Structure 1
Amino acid sequence: MIINLTGETVRVYGPDAPDVIADDALDTRCTVFAAEVPPAYINLDVLRAGPRTFHGGRPVQTYLVRHIVCDLPASRPDTYLLVDAAVGLASRGRSDLLIGFDSVHDAAGALVGYRHIVSPC
């Protein structure tokens, strides 16, 4: 079983999908994972200001932060959790997490889904 904790509907079109879906993106050529509530998300805890640097002649302030993953349930047998890429990457070591990979867009350039879902571990 796959539970979608991204907060949005996720569509997986498969490896042969084109980069751009010109017709209706909600067609039957994909697997649809409806969003569950509550979604898993990340809070950033700012620990301190980091070094100030410059890019293109303008100052850029950096910060040291800690990522706090919220509303991510514990692992369960035979269950995968589809999460946002940031949540997946901040939760290293969890073999039950999946993220969308290889984007598919509509004719206007908006993201409509992915070709694959993969483990970030």
Structure 2
Amino acid sequence: MLRLKCLFFVIALSINLYSIEVLVTNSKINYKEIISVKKLSSGKVLSVKKFCIPATISDFENNKYYATRYLRKGSIICLKDIEKYSKNSILFNFGSIQIERDGELIFENDEYIKIKKRDGKIEKIYKDGRLR
């Protein structure tokens, strides 16, 4: 009986020695959604896929990241699954109206402006302030 307990203790100790600290999602994270620390938890696993470099919690404390793909609940976050968030906003001044939108400017003429949003949709804003 004592040998069985010692064997179990040695196995449990060796599992913790060779485990890898990873970040796991608590809930689903949509494509191009900004990832907050509240949606993450830390965990230990014995192995990860060889092309996965696990992200650390200090990465998320220092910078904002967004998901480059849909992440299911309970999936491990790799560095290839996230990118640094940089705010790309455009400020338009139409005289008395000022409009600030996230995205990049595609086209501008005398009547309207076309903006490509972060999710890929194109928005058309007329210079008199109405949308499409």
User: Does TM-score exceed 0.5, indicating one fold?
Assistant: no
Which structure has the highest strand share of the two? 1
Greater RCO between the two (CA within 8 Å, min separation 6)? 1
| Larger Rg over CA atoms | 2
**TM-score (normalised: structure 2):** 0.23
**TM-score (normalised: structure 1):** 0.24
